[in-house]
Chain A
Amino acid sequence: MKAAIEAINRMQADGIIGKYAIGGAVGATFYLEPAATLDVDVFVILPTAPGGLLLSLSPIYDYWKARGGTVEDEYIVISGWPVQFLPANNELELEALAEAVPTTVEDVGTWVLTAEHLAAIALRTGRPKDHNRILQFIEEGAVDRKRLQTIVERHHLNERWKQFERRFLEGTHG
């Protein structure tokens, strides 16, 4: 993972991506016990294209292909880790990137989304594994519930949150 993060940092220094932060299961691992995962989700801000052209992930794929990287479906395999680059394309993801937490992996600097933003993004995505992750965050006291509620309200996820509460949290307030 260290080598993968170094490679992503190089890509950032080369101007291919702007700010980035690790999300998904690897991001959640920053706050929770480690859980098996096969890939790395990296939220990114893509540099603005001249003339406001529609941005795409092509520069990222081209960058790695030029360096002998392997592209497998939506993943780029970097140092043995399939990495999925997810351009921040809504206010929630942009805010999540702006508030990402700096950290290190074996002395290599990187950023991880906050627990509350990981939970809010999981709520929006809404797959069973996302619900599991939110439950883990809550059960292990890894999220600030008030802060999460503020994010949920700011990004109009109230109805989803109510559904989630009804389904999974009834009788477990705390």
Chain B
Amino acid sequence: MDKSKMRARLASLSFTEKIKILEKLRDRDRVIAASGLRRKVAVDARKKADKDTGS
């Protein structure tokens, strides 16, 4: 299924079904935030940028 069809399918779900997806997305965000993964990715990106610019 292409992206636009997938978006249309998701948009056509009932509000209840969409809210359940929102809850899953929120829970996933919380798990990622608690794991420190975002911080690690940000630190790694900064290190790479520093290395690329030679600073």
Question: Footprint of B on A, CB under 8 Å?
Answer: 1-2, 26, 29-38, 81, 103-106, 112, 140, 142
Closest approach, in angstroms, between the C-beta of A32 and any C-beta of chain B?
A: 5
A38 touching B26, Cβ below 8 Å: yes
- B7 interface neighbour in A1, A30, A33, Cβ under 8 Å: A33
A34 touching B26, Cβ below 8 Å: no
Q: How many residues of B contact A (CB 8 A)?
A: 16
Tally A-B pairs: CB < 8 A: 50
CA distance A29 to B26 in the complex (A): 14
B7 touching A29, Cβ below 8 Å: no
Proximity bits, B8-43, A CB within 8 Å = 1, else 0: 101101011011011101101100000000000000
- A34 interface neighbour in B21, B28, B29, Cβ under 8 Å: B21
CA distance A81 to B21 in the complex (A): 14
**Nearest chain A residue, comparing its CB with the CB of B30:** A38
A36 touching B25, Cβ below 8 Å: yes
Closest approach, in angstroms, between the C-beta of B2 and any C-beta of chain A?
A: 14
Closest approach, in angstroms, between the C-beta of A26 and any C-beta of chain B?
A: 7
> Given A36-B29, A38-B29, does the pair A1, B11 have CB atoms closer than 8 Å?
no
Q: Which residues of B contact A140 (CB under 8 A)?
A: 7-8, 11
Closest approach, in angstroms, between the C-beta of A80 and any C-beta of chain B?
A: 8
B16 touching A32, Cβ below 8 Å: no
**Nearest chain B residue, comparing its CB with the CB of A37:** B22
A29 touching B18, Cβ below 8 Å: yes
> Given A34-B22, A38-B26, does the pair A106, B16 have CB atoms closer than 8 Å?
yes
